[in-house]
Structure 1
Amino acid sequence: MSSTHLPSTVGLRVVAALAQYGTVSSAADALHLTQSAVSKQLKNIEALVGAPLFDRTSQGLSPTDVGMIYIEQARIALGALETAAVRVAALRRSQPAIRLHVLPILGDRWFMPRFSRFAELHPEIEVEFTTFAASDTVEEADAVFRFGDGNWPGWRADYFLGREVILIGAPQLIARGGGISSLDDIRHYPVLEHRQTPLRWSDFAQATHLNEFVPARINRFGYYSLVIRAAIGGQGLALVPRSLIHDELASGQLINPLGLGFTSPNCYWLTTPANRPLGAGLATLREWLLQEARQSEPMEVALLQETAS
């Protein structure tokens, strides 16, 4: 029998309800349908079968012999569909949360302002965030955000964001130091640095041809968020990925003197274990994350793609 000759699930439910309640009105109430809709569904199925399924009596509807056969199979079919629905629901509930290791600066400045959109789009996907940098936390994660050159043996790496690194400082600091009208003026200012980041002032000096650069003072911090806070507070100049400070640049809390900066191979990457296939939930999350990153810095991604080609 082709699919065009099979009854709809609504039709099967109508037949089962009519057998159970015995009248069109009672079946309609139970199914939240109109009586005319119930009668139409019954008429369509009887036409499909080629024989009446019920005798119309003064006491209501009484199944015919053909109807008894059909009603029994309708109940089996509906029971099978209900069982499948319950099993699928249980499977979804039993799917473990995706373990995502996020660097603190990304969690604070990129994820939290955006992640509610993913939760609204995919309420069935549960994501568990970790930020503790212990090796076992990273190894057990389904996906890990890393900062570096994209080369981690055993891991697939997708560029995320942060390749465009710019020089930043607070307007009051730069004014207090006499202003920055040339590259050499940078030597007169203290600088800020993250202890563990591969971004170094030597990289900036080499990229901008600032020869024999020795800053007035170097203040080092253990977290990038502290580097940014210190820069806002006027404690020194800093090198920061532009993608982390859009708001501060727009508000004027920080400025990028002379548009100075450089393109760094060290940036943020989304990595997943190379020997583990992506599950459906993780694949959906990965696609959403990379799309959001492309939208948040389209010029930077275009530059990366142009450089790689």
Structure 2
Amino acid sequence: MASPNLPPSTTALRVFLAVARLGSTAKAASAVHLTQSAVSKQIQALEEHLGIALFERSPTGLKATEAGTIYRPYAEAAIEQMERGARRIAERTALGRPIRLHLVAIAGERWLMERFPSFAQAHPEIDVQFTNFISESQTEDSDIDIVHGIGPWPDREAHYLFGRQVALVAAPALLERMGGFTSPADIQKMTLLQHFQMPAFWAEFTEAHGLRGAVPAHTVRYGYYSVIIRAAMAGLGVALAPRCYVAEELASGTLVNPLSLGFDSTVGCWMTLNPRGQRGPGVEALVGWLREEAARFEAEASA
């Protein structure tokens, strides 16, 4: 009758399986890195624990008894489950530290937040903490940064995401009030709604449409694209905005793209990482997902 004491050690189970597989205590000793004497003692202790012999001698070595044959798959399953548990703990430890994702506000509002639930549901073990831009000197340390800029960055691993396709947008009522928009030069009679971090957009637009040196009638600068988009919808001026950020308004007609005017900018939205930072499987999974979703987002905006 089996002992009511604690279950046998993993060492005893590994020794038992090695002897069952190899048919020899000497060979098993080499496989499990123990002495032959220690292997024999482990088998003896296991047999005493179970109250029955697990092996018998045969002309070719040790052979499992009927009890040993019955016990073997359970021992294998026990070892497999314990190894799986150890791997799971190791993975959870690697994933345990929250991933800090720093991103510009518009990328969260127009792209990430509505898509992120699918990632969270697929990876409930990955804790992602979102941080936002405050100032150049007041940003939290992050694992992943999503920023607007001109890549690549020499000291960062960088992946382009989206946003290079820029469109001129305006409210239909504004264009009607201003007498329509018949040529690119008409932008000079408009108020330009400009992101303070994207002053190059005007130069890129005028260069692309043969208007070098042109200036708008008036410029109003904002710190957030969400405010620029709302201002454009309210008819306060025209804006140069990444097409992917205004795709919904263009589709609904609340904003229009007069004469299909736009350009391909050198500025885009990029994901950057510290190439020397610690990167567990959680970061790798998130980075891969972000790149796939970004490609889909840009393709949808271009369709």
Same fold (TM over 0.5): yes
Measured in 1, the distance between the counterparts of 2:273 and 2:137 equals 15
- Given that 1:194 and 1:224 are in contact with CA atoms closer than 8 Å, whether structure 2 keeps it comes out as yes
After superposition, the Cα gap between the structure-2 partners of 1:89 and 1:135, relative to the gap in structure 1 and judged at 3 Å, is farther
For residue 77 of structure 1, report the CA deviation from its aligned partner: 4.6
**What are the within-5 Å matches in structure 2 for residues 124-143 of structure 1?**
124-134=125-135, 140-143=141-144
* Superposition deviation, residue 136 in structure 1: 7.0
Where in structure 2 are there 5+ consecutive unaligned residues?
4-20, 22-49, 55-65
CA contact (8 A) 1:168 1:238 kept: yes
Q: Is the 8 A contact 1:190 1:216 kept in 2?
A: yes
1:237-280 Cα deviation digits (max 9, x unpaired): 00000011111110001100001111111110011112236432
Look up the match of 1:195.
Answer: 196
Is 1:288 aligned to 2:289, yes or no? Answer: yes
Please say if residues 160 and 290 of structure 1, whose CA atoms lie closer than 8 Å, have aligned partners that are also in contact.
Answer: yes
1:65 paired to 2:66: no
Aligned to 1:88: 87
Deviations 1:172-203 (A, max 9, x none): 11111000011222121111011122543122
Q: Find the counterpart in structure 2 of residue 231 from structure 1.
A: 232
Residue in 1 that maps onto 2:243: 242
For 1:115, the equivalent position in structure 2 comes to 116
Identity over aligned pairs, percent: 39
Asked if the contact 1:159–1:270 (Cα under 8 Å) also holds between the matched residues in 2, the reply is yes
- Secondary structure, counterpart of 1:181 in structure 2: coil
**Partner AA of 2:260 in structure 1:** G
Kindly state the Cα deviation for residue 87 of structure 1 after the two structures are TM-superposed: 3.2
Report SS of the residue matched to 1:297: helix
In structure 1, the residue corresponding to 2:269 is in which secondary structure?
strand
CA contact (8 A) 1:154 1:273 kept: yes
In the TM superposition, what whole-angstrom CA distance separates every residue of 1:74-120 from its partner, at most 9, and x where no partner exists?
A: 66555444433443343344321221111101011100111111122
The alignment partner of 1:213 has SS state of coil
Q: Which amino acid aligns with 2:159?
A: D
Distance 2:199 2:187 in 1: 21
Offset from partner CA, 1:215-239 (integer Å, 9 cap, x none) = 1111111111111110111100000
* SS of alignment partner, residue 295 of structure 2: helix
1:29-178 alignment, distance < 5 Å = 65-66=53-54, 77-94=76-93, 95-134=96-135, 140-178=141-179
Tell me the distance in 1 between the aligned counterparts of 2:191 and 2:245.
21
Looking at structure 2, the residues matched to 128 and 199 of structure 1 have their Cα atoms a distance apart, in angstroms, of 32
Q: In 2, distance between residues paired with 1:83 and 1:134?
A: 49
| Amino acid across the alignment from 2:286 | L
CA distance in 2 between counterparts of 1:92 and 1:277 reads 14
2:256 is matched with 255
Mark the CA change 1:181 to 1:68 in structure 2 (over 3 Å): closer, same or farther: same
TM-score when normalising by structure 1: 0.70
The C-alpha deviation readout for 1:123-166, integer Å capped at 9, x for no partner, is: 22221111134557757211101111113231011110000011
Contact kept in structure 1, 2:201 and 2:265, CA below 8 Å: no
Q: Distance in 2 between the 1:86 and 1:299 partners? A: 42
The answer to which of 291-300 and 234-243 deviates more is 291-300
* Counterpart residue type for residue 264 of structure 1: S
Give the Cα–Cα distance (whole angstroms) in 2 for the partners of residues 242 and 190 of structure 1: 19
| Corresponding position of 2:299 | 298
Does the CA-based 8 Å contact 2:247-2:301 persist in structure 1?
A: no
Answer whether contact 1:163 1:300 (CA < 8 A) is retained. no
Classify 1:155/1:300 alpha carbon distance in 2 versus 1 (closer, same or farther; 3 Å): farther
Contact 1:148 1:198 in 2 (8 A): no
The structural deviation recorded for 1:72 is: 7.0
CA contact (8 A) 1:138 1:144 kept: no
